[in-house]
Every structure is written in structure tokens, then in C-alpha cells.
């Protein structure tokens, strides 16, 4: 197991955290949810706009670390155009990869795989999964849902 810092802070992660995609408030969202990490006080709001059961747009507004911002940025990028079922499946896959006991099998072209370095930093896994849990709460609750990682 390598716990090299460069595996955690890969260039692509730093890039997403410096210039996050889909950052900011989404006007007239179909659903939104707020996520909190009480451990560090980080907060994120995820907004989605649905067209039927398809995610037309997804944005987020976060006060968080490089890992959580990069995760939110990649997540919203990857989900646009997906159906709700596909989003749920993506959540399940990401969550298992992140928290599962076995090292995940990854598709080479999957940008999200850059986040797998986080697995070696147990205290930081919640940073990567918070945006996903928040998205899921938004899709499930469609309203003023609040979730926390604790």
C-alpha cells in the first residue's frame, strides 16, 4: 500500500479543486440538498435539474477541502445526462470503491479513479463521499434535505 501524497493529490485532483466545474448556485433546481461534515465544518449544497428522469444539470456550492471540491466537480461532470437509475448505480459503485475492503477494479478512462488514492487516507474518505451522499439525498428527497456524514 502506498500512502504517497502524490497518490492523494494527483494533478487532476488539484486541477479540479483549483478550477471546479459546475461550481455555484443553480437557479430553479428540481431538487437540492445540503451536506455537512461535522468533523471539519465543511458544507456543500448540491443542486440538480431534472428533465423527466434525466439529470439535465447538476451544480454544487461548497466550502470544503481539495478532495471534496474535486469529488463534487467530477461527480457533477459525470452525472449530466444520466438517468436517475444510472446516477444511483454510479453512487453505489463509487461508494463501494471508496469504502470497500478490496481494491476496486477501475476503468482506465474513468476520471473518478483519480480519487481512489483517498482510500489510503482513512480520515479523508468522508471528504470524497460527502458530495455523493448529498446528491443522493437531493435525488431521493427532492426538497430541503439535510444530511451529515456522521
Partner 1 sequence: MSTNGAYPIDRIRADFPILSEQVRGKPLVYLDNGASAQKPSAVIEQISRTYETEYANVHRGVHYMSQMATDAMEAARVKAQEFLNAADEKEVIFVRGATEGINLVASSWGRANLKPGDEIILSVLEHHSNIVPWQMIAEQTGAIIKVVPIDDAGEFLVDEYEKLLSPRTKMVAVTHVSNALGTVVPVKEVIRLAKAQGSAVLLDGCQAVPHIPVDVQALDVDFYVFSGHKLYGPSGIGVLYGKQALLEAMPPYQGGGEMIDRVTFEKTTYAELPFKFEAGTPHIAGIIALGTAIDYLNGIGFDAIAAHEHDLLTYATDQLSAMNTIDIVGTAADKAAILSFNIKDVHPHDVGTILDHDGIAVRTGHHCAQPVMDRFDVAATVRASFGLYNTRDEVDVLVSGIKRVQEMFA
Binding site for partner 1 (CB under 8 A): 3, 5, 8-9, 14, 39-43, 63-67, 121, 123-124, 127
Q: Give whichever of 18 and 25 is closer to partner 1, judged by the CB atom.
A: 18
Question: Which residue number, 43 or 140, has a Cβ lying nearer to partner 1?
Answer: 43
CA-to-CA distance for 89 and 85, rounded, in angstroms?
6
- Shortest Å, Cβ 47 to partner 1: 20
Q: How far is the CB of 55 from partner 1 (least distance, A)?
A: 27
Three cell numbers written together for 13: 485532483
In the numeric block, which cell numbers belong to residue 100? Answer: 470497500
Cβ-based nearer residue to partner 1, 115 or 139: 115
Cβ neighbours for 126, distance < 8 A, ≥ 6 positions apart? 37, 39, 149
Task: Tell me how far, at minimum, the Cβ of 100 lies from partner 1, in Å.
Answer: 21
Q: What stretch of H or E contains 98?
A: helix 84-99
| Helical H segments across the chain, by residue range | 5-8, 11-18, 66-79, 84-99, 125-141
* Residue 3: CB minimum distance to partner 1, A: 7
Amino acid at each position: 500500500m502506498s500512502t504517497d501524497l502524490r497518490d492523494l493529490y494527483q494533478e487532476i485532483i488539484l486541477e479540479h479543486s483549483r478550477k471546479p466545474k459546475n461550481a455555484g448556485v443553480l437557479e430553479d433546481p428540481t431538487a437540492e440538498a445540503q451536506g455537512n461534515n461535522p468533523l471539519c465544518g465543511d458544507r456543500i449544497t448540491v443542486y440538480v435539474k431534472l428533465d423527466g428522469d434525466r439529470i439535465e444539470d447538476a451544480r454544487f456550492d461548497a466550502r470544503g477541502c481539495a478532495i471534496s471540491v474535486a469529488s463534487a466537480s467530477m461527480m457533477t461532470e459525470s452525472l449530466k445526462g444520466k438517468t436517475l437509475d444510472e446516477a444511483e448505480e454510479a453512487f453505489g459503485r463509487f461508494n463501494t470503491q471508496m469504502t470497500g475492503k478490496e481494491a476496486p477494479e477501475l476503468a482506465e478512462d474513468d476520471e473518478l479513479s483519480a480519487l481512489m488514492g483517498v482510500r489510503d487516507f482513512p480520515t479523508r474518505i468522508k471528504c470524497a463521499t460527502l458530495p455523493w451522499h448529498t446528491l443522493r439525498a437531493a435525488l431521493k428527497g427532492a426538497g430541503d434535505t439535510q444530511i451529515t456524514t456522521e
